[in-house]
Chain A
């Protein structure tokens, strides 16, 4: 059975997802777009969410799972609330992306992909983000890009998000 009400706000999110699906359901090959939407809503794709998508699109769960695990963009595990993605593409690498990455891991005292204890952050390596003229590039969440980042600026980025989080409480 699906436990659609377990997380706060999930019911609404599933409703939104269902509406999205019913709008596009008849387009062939729409699964990936639906998964994009689902991940945007939930932050990651749990088994429950994958099952939901499979049911609504009337495709086998194995197909959904196969697609989710193939693409880098999709994640089956919860990540930190703020995912910090460091580009390790060649252009960023030669501009010192590895040092930025190291600083982030040191500051947050975590390993790669591992959420911090308070669940606020996780650090990920990603491939070229197509902003190479601004190398090295860091992306927080899906949309907050930072360019020409030095290790010191990386520390400041963390502080900024921490302050925002504390401000909310």
Chain B
């Protein structure tokens, strides 16, 4: 029986750091203490998206969001709302209402992938099913496999892991290869610094990923799937494992799913912390239990993937987009986005923004909307200096470029990367040389060492940037960074080394002045870099 009042506490890996789990337990305690437990349910749910200063809770049926920062706030909610039936205005979070004024419309999310996150208990399959969960799977099991693939093709869905390859085409390639043994893999390695959307999708709605994978498996003719997930993502791992277990119990995984004769087994594999393992062939090596070094392509995974068999590798968000496409039809999805980029995109907002968190918006939303309307602008009244879009392998842009709409073509048209959907704002306190150095050290460390251009190239780049940060740079060194970028782009073995030039060039192009301001002076102009003390001249 549903109780008259439901309190949802947003408990996920990010909000847990603000004490979400503790507040939930405390709330349950108080509800019991005041004998309210016969009319009140206290439930955990996934991310509401936004992280302000406190933990967000939502009270149904009124659907007001409160932000809780202490046990006192919890007590206040119980005293005022539950016992006396009064709202607690001091804790209410201004909810973005779907009013039709232009100003407000801009702020409204379009939730496809995150449709259930923050609404259902991710640990309970019944709640997913109540929201039409597994309907899409049931529907496709009555269709021809090629019909399913055609729907995904028509929808215009493209991979959300960064490269944007058309998903339906990838499935079709795999479908066409004649082999009794095929695999589907979910890439949940999420290693791009600044990206945390996949984590919150899996924590908030694990079944949507599982359902998407089962549909893919049916369509291409695979009977075995793996979710390859970062070992550090404990909550996601446990929610996924629980979800898989429940799906087996309900006959939605395993043999003869829904009496269709289709068999599909799914298990979780843990990554062990190597950025390159997000690259699909390295990931496949890793699932095979080896060091995750990329393979030479072609052949691509749809032809020869896991154990040499045809394999589909897709991102978490890509899979989670599939069930709504099947239910609502390809056209519905297509009109959400721009001409070449259908649907929505989940963005991770972080850095010096006021509101950090994840938002899902239509493809083609501008950087400026994401920074100001959703991100709330820059903290502490500081000026914005640059924004990194797309992740570590993405681009640095200047504030005056913020009106660019982000979709799969924005890289080609404006040199601004959509990538994995990161908006990382950096304020005026930071130095371009120092930011570049931090990022390039990341690539140096994560280079797998297989090919020389990447292994040595990243090392030389870091050495040169170190020189700039110590006041030992020069115009010649600055220009040589471009040469190294060119060499790496042309000759690195895999996507990691080939991608390094993208962020590097973008920051060099836009902040040359700042690099050169570090040359020929005794003291760093930025207040961040520390030049070694010059020996005092003897007069």
Contacts and interface: CB of A to CB of B under 8 A. Distances in A.
A145 interface: yes
Interface residues of A, number: 41
Contacts of A74: 272
Interface string B261-280: 00000000111111100000
A29 interface: yes
Contacts of A63: 290
Nearest to A74: B272
A94 B274 CA distance: 22
A129 B14 contact: no
B194 A91 contact: yes
Contact of A127 (B17, B356, B426, B446): B446
Contact of B356 (A126, A132, A146): A132
Contacts of A32: 269-272, 286, 289
A78 B51 CA distance: 37
A33 B446 contact: no
A31 interface: yes
B439 A90 contact: yes
A88 B194 CA distance: 11
A133 B190 CA distance: 15
A91 B350 contact: yes
Given A91-B424, A94-B352, A134-B51, A147 B18 contact: yes
Nearest to B276: A70
Interface in A62-112: 63, 66-67, 70-74, 88-91, 93-95
Contacts of B356: 132-135
B134 to A, nearest CB: 27
Interface in B8-32: 13-14, 16-18
Contacts of A157: none
B272 A129 contact: no
Contact of B193 (A90, A139, A142): A90
Contacts of A129: 232
Contacts of B292: 70-71
Contact of B350 (A29, A73, A133): A133
Contacts of B357: 133
B291 A70 contact: yes
A145 B20 CA distance: 13
B289 A143 contact: no
A137 to B, nearest CB: 8
B51 to A, nearest CB: 4
B187 to A, nearest CB: 14
A148 B191 CA distance: 20
Given A90-B438, A147-B18, A130 B288 contact: no
B352 to A, nearest CB: 6
B14 A131 contact: yes
B349 A133 contact: yes
Contacts of B196: 130-133
Nearest to B349: A133
Contacts of A73: 231-232, 271-273
A9 interface: no
Contact of B287 (A29, A93, A148): A29
A28 interface: yes
B68 to A, nearest CB: 15
Nearest to A133: B356
B314 interface: no
Nearest to B358: A133
B223 interface: no
A91 B272 contact: no
Interface in B424-443: 424, 426-427, 430, 435, 438-439, 442
Q: Which of A72, A126, A127, A146 has the most B CB atoms < 10 Å from its CB?
A: A127
Given A36-B272, A73-B273, A94 B435 contact: yes
Interface of A: 28-33, 35-36, 63, 66-67, 70-74, 88-91, 93-95, 126-135, 137, 139, 142-143, 145-148
Given A90-B194, A93-B438, A128-B192, 17 more contacts: A28-B288, A28-B307, A29-B269, A66-B291, A67-B291, A70-B274, A70-B291, A72-B272, A90-B424, A90-B438, A94-B430, A127-B193, A127-B446, A128-B191, A134-B18, A135-B350, A142-B232
17 contacts: A36-B272, A66-B290, A70-B293, A89-B194, A91-B350, A126-B273, A127-B273, A127-B275, A128-B195, A130-B196, A130-B232, A131-B17, A132-B424, A133-B349, A135-B350, A135-B356, A146-B17
